[in-house]
Structure 1
Amino acid sequence: MAGTAIRSGAASTLASMWSVDDRSTAKLMQNFYSSLTQSNGVSKAEALQLAQRKTRQQYPHPYYWASFVLVGNWL
């Protein structure tokens, strides 16, 4: 799916490497977009790292936060 998004013109996309939990994914996405919009100069890659760290506090097992990769433009 991530490749399809990139081929269709998206600059970047977040993709999951395995099936994910709805609640932890919703929290990770909230944290990702919060970091991306509220922090000056934070790249998408850095926002993902921050979101994973924050989500990891509530969901320590990697199943809940480690499946996400940023494909395409990281900036």
Structure 2
Amino acid sequence: MNRPSIARPRRPRNHPDRFLECQRAVEDTVVSAIGEASAAGWQKDEIIAAMIAVADDMQLALNAKVLLSVETELGKLMKKYR
């Protein structure tokens, strides 16, 4: 199956409608992925639960990278000013 292309953002990062715009941009791709997984034999409830778990894991990893980056920079500053 060909997945739909995802539109580029049209609004700046701090615009109140940007999140909704992003949801709309990825919706067709998500629906397509669900269709592919369903055609492969997975049930829709388990597909969606798996997608949520993957997205949650990715968010946690992103937060961990940010935290690690902040800790690294703080460590550098502490060494600099000792």
Over alpha carbons, which structure has the higher Rg? 2
TM-score (norm 2): 0.32
Q: Per residue, is there more strand in 1 or in 2? A: 1
TM-score (norm 1): 0.34
Q: Per residue, is there more helix in 1 or in 2? A: 2
Greater RCO structure (CA 8 Å; 6+ sep): 1
